[in-house]
Structure 1
Amino acid sequence: MKPVVSALNAWSCVVISVFAIVILSVLGSLFSSNNHAYTGSEGEPEDGPAVAASIYVAVLVYAGFLVFCGFQVFLHRRASRGGAISLN
């Protein structure tokens, strides 16, 4: 298989996806625990677990990006070594 995206784009996607997964997971856990800093003041959402569920869906989307871009990085590294079978 050949990579679909460039190596720089694949690595950028991997880094951004890792950071997004970590940050959104922390935010989702804060909303799911009904932390008063996120759900107690005026103008904030009242149903913390519903907000956390939508944040966790975003985490799953970023996990899908991470898998796809990680596979693209793998394909680039394999191509730079001479293909699937190296005779060196």
Structure 2
Amino acid sequence: MTSTTDTQRQDRYMALIDRLLQCPSGEEPAVLNSEPDLLDAEFVQLLVHTAAHFAHHDNADAAKFLAFIARELARQLGLYPEVQEG
């Protein structure tokens, strides 16, 4: 059973993804920084899921964009370690 709070958070995640998709190039950090409480592992997971959805529905540009955002955000949040070269 999903609580109202969870549903509201999911709605906010989706609204943030919509804003990312619609913002001018280069404005992505400002859009993300406008909702710092949403920048978490669950949001990264939803970005990846949404990117996969776009990839399967012939929107490769949106898929690549969201996958890039997910990867960068995951790195910034420390969700996976950097690979050490050498």
TM-score normalised by structure 2 residue count: 0.40
Q: Which has the larger radius of gyration?
A: 1
